[in-house]
Amino acid sequence: MLLPNFIFAGAPKSASSTLFEYIKQHPDIYMCPIKEPFFFDFNYEKGIDWYQSLFSNYQGEKIIGEATVWYMRWKSVPQRIYQTIPNSKFLFVLRNPIERAFSNYQMDLFGGKYTLDQTFGYVIRNEFKDSSIDRTIVSSGFYYEQLKRFEEYFDPSNFLIILYEDLKNDLRAVEKKIYEFLDVDSNFQAINPDNRMIGRCLKNEKLLIKLSQLPGFNKIWQKHRQFRKLFIYENSTINKQKIATMSKEDREYLNFVYAKHNDLLSKYINQDLSHWQ
């Protein structure tokens, strides 16, 4: 049965697309060409044959992997993985949960999940109160709880935990560390792919605020991607002075929410995370 022995399982909005582009270049690693097949969460009912078919181009590589960074978030996933591939290794990249939440919000806002009146401050304070809010913005940052769920089924020696800051500061060193963890040639260096880290912020905000008062605006915003694109800066077109930032009040609120969780995580991975505050 052809199944992966390596899963890049989280966390979302932590530069996973960039890292995926590096890992898949290694000659001893075959990564599922579909990033985020979502088998162990949304597509589990499709069955093991469907999952196996995703790896049909495998050509004898030592490592077979897939990357679905939302696996870390869902409670049922660790048990499902254990029942299917009990000897799997896992990669987790952890980003400051405050910055991760803000990045997640921006992605969802520009993806049409939220309307402009659902501000970042409103969303993070009402994640479990407003049924229209995606319930992952804040709770996806409770990394300690998520890692402990995996530990119920897998030995922590099968986990490689990377901090997002380390990845940004020295991606080559992180790349080497991953290869060592997977026991493949750690001297290999991938060709630098296009940077997949996407930055977004709103442009023409004054006009947008006026338009948002018109009847039917929210429906247009949510359903028409091309319309949203008229008001979004992306990547190289971003004026650094215009990059969106969260308010001091929202940051302080999330600092309070994550304080206990970050302290537990710091002890669990034996790393100082005070810079996250």
Tell me the mean pLDDT in the region 14-36: 92
Residue 258: its H or E element: helix 248-269
> What would the mean pLDDT of 231-246 be, rounded to a whole number?
55
Q: With the C-alpha atoms ordered 16, 20, 21, 22, is the resulting torsion angle positive or negative? A: positive
Would you say 32 and 5 are in contact if contact means Cβ atoms under 8 Å apart? no
Comparing 160 with 13, the larger pLDDT belongs to 160
Superfamily designation of domain 6-97+140-193+259-276: P-loop containing nucleotide triphosphate hydrolases (3.40.50.300)
pLDDT the model gives residue 236: 42
Does residue 206 surpass a pLDDT of 70? no
Cα–Cα dist 20/36, whole Å:
10
SS3 call for 196:
coil
| pLDDT above 80: residue 218 | no
pLDDT over threshold 80, residue 54: yes
Q: Decide: 76 and 145 in contact? Cβ < 8 Å.
A: no
In order of 91, 103, 113, 207, 215, the CA distances from 223 in angstroms are 35, 21, 9, 19, 15
Say how far apart CA 137 and CA 116 lie, in whole Å.
16
Peptide bond before residue 11 is cis, with ω within 30 degrees of 0: yes
pLDDT at 112 over 90: no
Distance CA 61, CA 141 (A): 33
* Torsions phi, psi for 74 (to 5 deg): -95, 130
0.75 exceeded by the pTM? Answer: yes
Whether 1 has a pLDDT exceeding 80, the answer reads no
The domain limits of the chain are 6-97+140-193+259-276, 200-242
Helix (H) or strand (E) holding 232: strand 232-234
Work out the percent of the chain whose per-residue pLDDT is above 90.
Answer: 66
- Chain centre to alpha carbon of residue 20: 12
- The C-alpha atoms of residue 192 and residue 188 are separated, in whole angstroms, by 12
In tens, the pLDDT along 248-259 reads 999 999 999 999
Q: For the beta carbon of residue 23, count every other beta carbon within 10 angstroms.
A: 21
Three-class SS state of 46: helix
pLDDT bin (cut points 50, 70, 90) of residue 129 is confident
Q: Using an 8 Å Cβ cutoff, are 166 and 95 in contact?
A: no
Q: How far apart, in whole angstroms, are the C-alpha atoms of residue 134 and residue 108?
A: 9
Tell me the mean pLDDT in the region 222-236. 69
